Every structure is written in structure tokens, then in C-alpha cells.
Amino acid sequence: APKGFIAPNVEVKPFSAAFDVVAHELTHGVTASSARLNGYPFSDAGALNEAFSDMFGASTAFFYEPIGTAPLTASYTLGRDLAVPAGALLIRSLSDPRTTRDPDHYTQRIIGGDPHYNSTIASHAFYLAIEGGANRTSGLAVQGVGAANREQIEKAFFRALTVLLPSNATFALTRAATIHAARDLYGAGSNAERAITQAWDAVGVQDRIAPTATMLPNPASSTAAPCGGLQPSWNLGVTVSAGSSNLRFTQWVWDIFNHNGALEEHDTLSPVDFSQFFRSCGPGSTTLLAQTDACSSVCVSFLSGDSRGSTQITFTAVDDAGRTVTFATPRVTLR
């Protein structure tokens, strides 16, 4: 962009002017040929895709460029060289995401939000595992491996990306995979394993215990697009998240309520329907692996022509212990 277009006396260069940004984009190619992290908007995988690109964008810069604050030097702030003067335009900070108005903790994520925004939760954990320090939100301190040993963290995260993670990976699964990778590479109880575990703790990412389901946005506004030939209609995103156990789905029930709260539609659907329906992110299977997601877009309309009401989906599955578990999305208000 020409000088003054973004801000007075600031000239923005092409993305190719920043070494870390080029490496970021090349990492997307690595991801596309390995984990193939899905970019579905209501899943974690899209944010993780961007996070890994930021991690290895910065790592590549640290490998090839001197460290510092001058132009053409390596730092944990992506895109410093995209503007003249250097640093006038910042994309994302791995060391302190708040400086670029991004989250540094899992509780600050926006479900269904921009994956670039949510990505800094994971990339900040990567930074903390290397450099150490305290997370500003949780206050938890991390004993990093130190810059001289950054390669240990880089290799653990790279192994997780290219060997261990599926396309529907979540933050929780990435935590488990990076810890597992550190153990594979450096042994149980190693400094790398300890640092990565502490880093995920600091940014608020823990193993998920119980399965959950979300349907967003909530409340939802109607659209002009017809759904099954009916108007008004509502477009929603549904994410089903497994906890600490694999889940084998036996049925799912979709209920639609009119504006008085009375049940208008009650559809009981089969495991095969689940496998066919929830494949926007996920395996397209009747089984969902522990710590992973399955996602889909849904379209809702009323046979009665109602212009407002609510909807809810309830899932029934069998876990690894043979127990039947039932869980549901919150009821979504349709307005």
C-alpha cells in the first residue's frame, strides 16, 4: 500500500518483504501435506493451522536472521518488516499477544471467530515453552528450555503437526500431541516435556473430560435464503466435541420449538446419518476419537412458517467403557 494509506507516513510492503511471513505461508504447504488441519470456522483446527504457520514462520526467521529489533532481524512478532518504518504494522505477537489485541488464554477465544485471532493461544504456548515467563491472564509461570534449546520445542511441535495430529485436531489434542512428541524425542520427564506441559497449563488448555456440543450463533438471526424451500430460515454451525473417551454414536435427536416453546418437529437420526452429516470437520464416521471434533452447518426452518422459536440437538453415544452418554447443545434462540 502507498505511504499514508494505512497510517500517516507509513508504507506497507508486499507480504514477500517479510521473511517470517513467507515462511508462515510455506508452512501452510507443510500442513496441507501432513495433518491437513481443517479450516471449518467452528472448529479449533483452523486456528491451529494458523498457529503452526506463525510458530515456524518465527522459527525460520530465528534460524536465518540475527535476533534484534532492527529491520530484517528475527523476533516473535510476525510481520515487523511489512512496513516502513519497521514495526509500524504488526500482524501477531507470539510473546505478548495482547499487544496485537489477540488472546493469550483459551478463555479469550471466540468460537467461530477468525482463526488468525484464535491462533495466538497455541503460538503463545510455543513461545512460553521456549523462552519461559508468566502468562498475563492466568499468572502461571513457565520454565522454558531457553533460547539456546529452542530446537527441542520446535522439533516437538513439528512432530506433532506432521506425524501425530489428525485433520480435526483440537487445542486439547494438540496439547497431548506436543507433550507426547517431547516424550518421544527427549524422554519422559525431560525439560522439553516439562516446559510444554507448563506452557499449555499457562494458556488454559487442558485435556477435555466430558463430551460437549455447541450450536452457534446463539441467538441466531434469520436469513433470506430458503431452507427446504421455506422462509424464514436460520443458518447455524454445530460442533460435537469428544472428551477423554472415544465415542460411538448410536443416535441423535433434532428438536425444533415454535415461538410458544411447543415442540414442532422431533427428528431421530441414525449413526449413519451422523457420519454423513458431520464431515465438515471430522472423520465422516460413526465414531469420534477422544479430544477431537466433528462439525457441520445446519439450516433450520419452520413448517408452520413461524418467524421465531428455538432449536436443540441431543446426541447419544457409547464410550470406551461401554457406558451410554447423552449430551446436548444449548437451546438456540431463533429470532
What residues act catalytically? 25, 116
Q: Name the grid cell of 41.
A: 470456522
Dihedral angle of Cα 58, 61, 67, 68, to the nearest 10 degrees: -70
Contact assessment for residue 73 and residue 31, using Cβ atoms and an 8 Å cutoff? no
Contact assessment for residue 17 and residue 82, using Cβ atoms and an 8 Å cutoff? yes
Instruction: Spell out a b/e string for 173-208, using b for 16 or more CB atoms within 10 Å of the CB, else e.
Output: bbbbbbbbbbbbebeeebbbbbbbbbbbbbbbbeeb
Distance (Å, whole) CA 199 – CA 46: 21
Distance (Å, whole) CA 40 – CA 112: 9
Distance (Å, whole) CA 166 – CA 37: 7
Q: Name the grid cell of 282.
A: 471430522
Q: How far is CA 48 from CA 4, 25, 44, 81, 208, in A?
A: 34, 14, 6, 24, 17
User: How many angstroms separate the most distant Cα atoms in the chain?
Assistant: 67
Contact assessment for residue 126 and residue 50, using Cβ atoms and an 8 Å cutoff? no
56 alpha carbon, distance to own chain's centre: 17
Write the DSSP assignment of 302-323 as a string of letters.
-TT--S-EEEEEEEEEE-TTS-
SS3 226: coil
Contact assessment for residue 231 and residue 224, using Cβ atoms and an 8 Å cutoff? yes
For residue 111, give the H/E element and its range: none
Contact assessment for residue 235 and residue 223, using Cβ atoms and an 8 Å cutoff? yes
